[in-house]
Amino acid sequence: MDKPLKQDASIEDALKSQPLASMPRSITADVMARIQTVEAKRPAILTWSDFGLSFVIASCVAALWFTSQHLPPILLAKLRIQGILLYQDFLVNSRWLVPAAMFGLAAFLAAMTIPILIKMTIDRRR
Amino acid sequence: MDHEQSLIQRAQKGDQDAFASLVDEHQRYIYNLAFRVLKDENEALDLAQETFVRAWTALPNFRGQSQFRTWLYRIVTNLCYNRLPNLRRSLNDLGDDVIEEIPETKIDNPAHEFESGETRAHLYKAIDELGSNYKLLITLRYQHELSYEEIASTLNLPLGTIKTGIFRAKEQLRKSLAHLEESWISP
């Protein structure tokens, strides 16, 4: 065997024969202890702040509904007129926003669903 | 493998005993990789623990597209990147100029290939002194017996970069061996 080949063989053998580093101790107990801590620290699915936020939103919706039920009829009529005027203004001056909003919504939905569909396809192939 | 698959499924459902068995089975390999790269026993132990804790947290997302051990290698490598910020860059900087297949020398009788235990010891030392990027590649290739494709997928690097890295690591070992042989000729 010529020298470079012999060298390569020595290197190859050294690489393959090098033993795994011996562990000073098993880490299983440490890992399991840390997992217990992680589990204990894991937050609940619903926290008190979630309940608080839900309560505030529900109160706002209820207040809005209550107010709308007790408005004077003249004020209701004025509000309705303002609403119609705003809608007409939108139809005349900002009609281009309709297709733009539709495309935006379509792009958003595509961005949400395409990765999930790709993942489902990959899972089905497996 | 079926046994491992059932352990993984049980662990995914929250069975900690099943996960402990998985830790028992794989810890040596994970520790070895961390130790080869970090060159520090305590850091390697710490990193191996962190790897399994993260694996536990991410286990529900493990879909079995790769082997469990390869998945663990990916986690431990990412943790190594965090500990050694230059490691990722040094791997990327390897480039991919070695694109041909790297021939692996077949050894019929390994014992005959070593002129002495000194050569083997010298090569082991030279392997230990390689840079962390080379150590990572050759450990995955030769000690953990991953294919080039598996290493590329684990490290998320081009196949050419993996081949280049291993080729250069061997070049360094060849130079080191040549130095040793020169020292025999001219004492």
From B34, B37, B8, select the one nearest B23 (Cα to Cα): B8
Mean pLDDT highest for which of A12-21, A27-36, B84-93, B177-186? A27-36
Closest Cβ opposite residue A23 in set B31, B107, B113: B31
Q: What does the alpha-carbon distance between residue A93 and residue A6 come to, in Å, rounded to a whole number? A: 84
pLDDT class of B139 with cuts at 50, 70, 90: very high
Residue B48 has pLDDT above 70, yes or no: yes
Average pLDDT over residues B94-117: 59
pLDDT at position B100 is 56
Alpha-carbon distance B30 to B83, whole Å? 15
DSSP A43-80: PPSS-HHHHHHHHHHHHHHHHHHHHHHTS-HHHHHHHH
Which residue of A9, A27, A38 is in closest CB contact with B45? Answer: A27
H/E element holding B155?
helix B148-155
Per-residue confidence at A125, pLDDT binned at 50, 70, 90? low
| Domain assignment of residue A52, yes or no | yes
Give the Cα-Cα-Cα angle A116, B73, A13 (nearest 5 degrees): 140
How many A×B Cβ pairs under 8 Å?
103
Instruction: Pick the closest to residue B178 from B128, B138, B122 (CA basis).
Output: B122
A42, B65, B89, A15: CA torsion to nearest 10:
120
B39: left (phi over 0), alpha (psi -120 to 50) or beta: left
Residue B77 CB partners (closer than 8 Å, separation 6+): B33, B136, B154, B155
Which residue in B88, B66, B72 sits closest to B136, CA to CA?
B88
User: pLDDT at position B37, please?
Assistant: 93
Domain contains A119: no
Once rounded to an integer, what is the mean pLDDT over residues B144-173? 91
pLDDT at A31: 93
What integer pLDDT is reported at residue A43 of this predicted model? 61
Indicate whether A83 belongs to any domain.
no
Average pLDDT, chain B: 85
**Min Cα separation A118/chain B (Å):** 14
| Whether A31 and B123 lie within 8 Å, measured CB to CB | no
pLDDT number for residue A78: 92
Number of domain units in chain A: 1
According to CATH, where is 1.10.10.10 located in chain B?
A: 85-187
In B, which residues are within 8 Å of A20 by CB distance? 28-29, 32, 143
**Fold classified for B85-187:** Arc Repressor Mutant, subunit A (1.10.10)
pLDDT at residue B106, rounded to an integer:
54
Spatial separation of the C-alpha atoms in residues B124 and A74, rounded to whole Å? 93
Tell me, yes or no, whether A79 lies in a domain: no
pLDDT at residue A3 greater than cutoff 80: no
Which CATH fold topology does B1-83 show? Rna Polymerase Sigma Factor; Chain: A (1.10.1740)
Q: Is B36's Cβ below 8 Å from some Cβ in A?
A: yes
- Please give the average per-residue pLDDT across A69-85, as a whole number: 90
Could you tell me the pLDDT band of residue B78, with boundaries at 50, 70 and 90? very high
Domain assignment of residue A116, yes or no: no
Is the minimum CB–CB distance between B5 and chain A shorter than 8 Å? no
Evaluate whether B107 touches A1 at the Cβ level (below 8 Å).
no
Cβ distance of B142 and A15 shorter than 8 Å? yes
> Residue A28 is part of which domain span?
3-72
